[in-house]
Amino acid sequence: MSGPDASHERALHAMGHLRVAGVDEVGRGPLAGPVTAAAVVLDIATIPQGVNDSKKLTAVSRAALSKQIHDVAEVAIAHASVAEIDEINILRASHLAMIRAIAALKPAPDFVLIDGNMIPNGLTLPARNVVGGDGRSLSIAAASIVAKTSRDRLMMDLARQYPGYGWDTNMGYGSKRHREALQNLGVTPHHRRSFKPVHNILYQAKSVST
């Protein structure tokens, strides 16, 4: 596969859907931090060169492209909190963040392209899911870049407030350093208590205290 293109967007434009939003999320897997989604309406005539699946780009490239996307496209970013993740589960929280990002676009898009194999419950706009969308649709790829860049910045800010967990490099994922810090430093308010490694440490601490 050569990378994302605008074929999905062009086909929808031909059907009369002129405001097509690509939507993607980042942060389902980490042990800490929110899940973040972005919705992006691109102008096909001014797509920044190099837009691709965010996982295939360096942090420097992502940051530069995110700025360019903000300059030429309509962008909305939203989060679902750790508390919401723990309350409703990570899948539903991811969908909630997506719906919030889409709702923040004003005016609303005519059609939504969603990365993945599901359309979020509660989305009332016309939509289509695209499996592997960040590698197939330029709008979704742009959303993946914006979401990843936004969440990474947030985790870097949290890393300064909670040093020792390595969030500035692991972004909350369960790296060796992060897991060791959980054992040694304990659980912070930004850890997902419903995730097994965090839950187990809390359970151990409770068992020791009793």
Cα 85 from Cα 4, distance rounded (Å) = 30
Quick one: CA dihedral 112, 113, 114, 120, positive or negative?
positive
Reduced to 3 states (helix: H, G, I; strand: E, B; else coil), residue 22 is strand
180 labelled binding-site residue: no
25 labelled binding-site residue: yes
- Which helix (DSSP H) or strand (DSSP E) does residue 112 occupy? strand 111-115
Cα 74 from Cα 39, distance rounded (Å) = 8
Tokens of 131: 């499996």
Reduced to 3 states (helix: H, G, I; strand: E, B; else coil), residue 31 is coil
- Which residues are 113's β-sheet partners? 22, 128
115 labelled binding-site residue: yes
Instruction: Scan for tokens 């800490």, then name that residue.
Output: 32
Cα 108 from Cα 6, distance rounded (Å) = 20
Binding residues: 24-25, 115
Binding residues for a divalent metal cation: 24-25, 115
